[in-house]
Each structure stands twice: as C-alpha cells, then as structure tokens.
Amino acid sequence: MTSDIRKMDGKDKFVLVPSADIYENQNEYVIKADMPGVTRENLEVMIEKNELRIRGKVATENPADLKYAEYRLHNYFRSFTVGDSIDREKIQASLENGVLTLTLPKSEAVKPRRIEIKVA
Amino acid sequence: MYSTYDIFDELYGLRNIVDRFFTEHPVSTGRYDFPQVNMGEHDDTVEITALVPGVSQDSINLQLVDSSIIIEGEKKIDYREHPYIRKERSFGKFQKSVKLPYGVDHGRIEASLRDGILRIRLYKSEYAKPRKIEIR
C-alpha cells in the first residue's frame, strides 16, 4: 500500500478504510470487509500487478439535518498486496448485508518461469 | 539523465504516509460503540440510521422504552475455524440505547435494513410536532 492515494482517488478528499478480516484455508484466501452503505453497482474490485483494490461508492448522502451523529459516510477505499500464488482468473466477490467477501483461490502450482536468454 | 531511482521517491513516500494519516479514516473509531448511530429530524419524523454490516434482519430487535429506542442484535462470526491473517472486525451481541429528542408515536415505527444500514423512522407524537401559538 505504498501508492499515492490521491492519484488513484483524485475525486475523494476523504476515504474510509473498511475494517477487514483475512483468513486462509488449504484452497483459498478469504477477505471480508465491512462496507455498510455500498451497493453492488457501486462496488469496484480491481487487481493490477500485485495490488488488489477495493473501492466502494456510498450513495447515501450525509443529510444536513442531522441532530446527532456518530458516523459519517465517505467512499471506501482499501488496497491489499497480493502475491503470485493466487489464481487471478478465479477471484470471486460477493456482497451481503454490507459485507464484502472476496475469495482468492490459490493457484494450482506457482510455477517458476524460466527466462530465455537469447544470444545476439 | 535516466535513472530508475529518484532521490525524491522516498521523500514522497514519507509525504504519502503523512497524507494518508489525514485522508484515510478507519470506519470505526472504537470497538465499544457498535453500532454507530446517526439521528436526523424532519418536520414530523425522526430518522435513526445505524451501521450494522454483517447483521442479518432476523437477528435485530428493536424496542421502544419510554423516550429511548433500544437496538439489540448480534453480529455473528462469519468464518469458521480457519487461521486468520488479519482480524480487524469484531463480532458478538450488542445492545444500544438511543435517547430520542421528542416524544414519539409508539404505535408507528418503520424499520428497514439495506446494505448493512438499519433505518428506523419514528413519528413524532402530536404533542411534539411544531405548533403555532396564537397571540391574542
């Protein structure tokens, strides 16, 4: 998470970082993140290089006539660094009751790649 | 002059850390105030919203007691016995009492749960509605 947050999220002055759990079993990693107020259409999950990015737009406006407030909603953003041991084609995402579940299956074999050196 | 290393990279890195401190906020400031609640007011209604991600509809209970509404429920642990790498979310039973600023109609409460946000609409009692006072 070293990238410049402003570059990626130019429009947002503030972003909320959702609390997340990550756990692992034999076949997969699972990320669960609390993102209340985010609908499916407003959720974006991206994987680029070694970065998995979660971005959620919150449709609910913070009403002006609040009497009392303990929270304030902003768009969500969080990124995770992922290794090469994940099968990127098979990542699954689901959203239920404001909780995002990302399933990242481990790849069958993390194959070492041989780099050919061409002789000029 | 082309180089992969820029002496300012590290400087920017530090700046990013400082920037992120000011622009990224954790959603929950404390574990003890679940669920977080907002209260808004309209002419004849009071609207309470609560952030309850991961809480299903059937595990929420609402109760109106005197001039408070009690939100009671349970956020059930949503993963089994797997080793965790990171654990930031908290689970368990909660019971929160929100004091209402007005007397409300006890017979008329509407509540809905969507995308992890609980919305409760209460109607002000006749007594609490704005009333124009005639000057004689």
Q: Is B136 exposed, middle or buried (0-12, 13-18, 19+ CB in 10 A)?
A: exposed
Query: Residue B128 and residue B67: Cα distance in Å, rounded?
Result: 12
| A22 neighbourhood in chain B, CB within 8 Å | 84-86
A117: in domain:
no
- Contact by Cβ (8 Å): A78, A33: yes
Which tens digits make up the pLDDT trace of B66-86?
Answer: 889 999 999 998 877 788 888
Q: How far is CA B90 from CA A2, A106, B5, B44, B75, in A?
A: 27, 26, 42, 36, 8
The total number of residues written for chain B in this structure: 136
Number of A/B CB contacts below 8 angstroms equals 136
Query: Which 3 state secondary structure label does DSSP give B126?
Result: helix
If one counts the domains in chain A, the total is 1
In order of their start, the domains of chain B are 30-128 (2.60.40.790)
A116: in domain:
no
A92: in domain:
yes
**Is the pTM above the cut of 0.80?**
no
- What value does the mean pLDDT take over residues B45-51? 91
| A2 neighbourhood in chain B, CB within 8 Å | 13, 16
- Contact by Cβ (8 Å): A44, A34: no
A110: in domain:
no
Partner residue opposite B23 with nearest CB, options A3, A14, A37: A14
* Whether the predicted pLDDT of A83 surpasses 90: no
Q: Model confidence at A110, in pLDDT bands (50, 70, 90)?
A: low
| pLDDT at residue B113 in the model | 95
| pLDDT at residue A8 in the model | 46
Output phi, psi for A88, to 5 deg: -70, -25
| pLDDT at residue B5 in the model | 64
CATH, residue A40: 2.60.40.790
Q: B19 vs A6: CB contact, 8 Å cut-off?
A: yes
Q: Across all residues in chain A, what is the average pLDDT?
A: 82
How far A51 CA lies from chain B's nearest CA (Å)?
17
Better-scored residue on pLDDT, B21 or A80:
A80
Structural domain that includes position A73: 5-105
A119: in domain:
no
Interface residue B92 vs chain A (CB under 8 A):
no
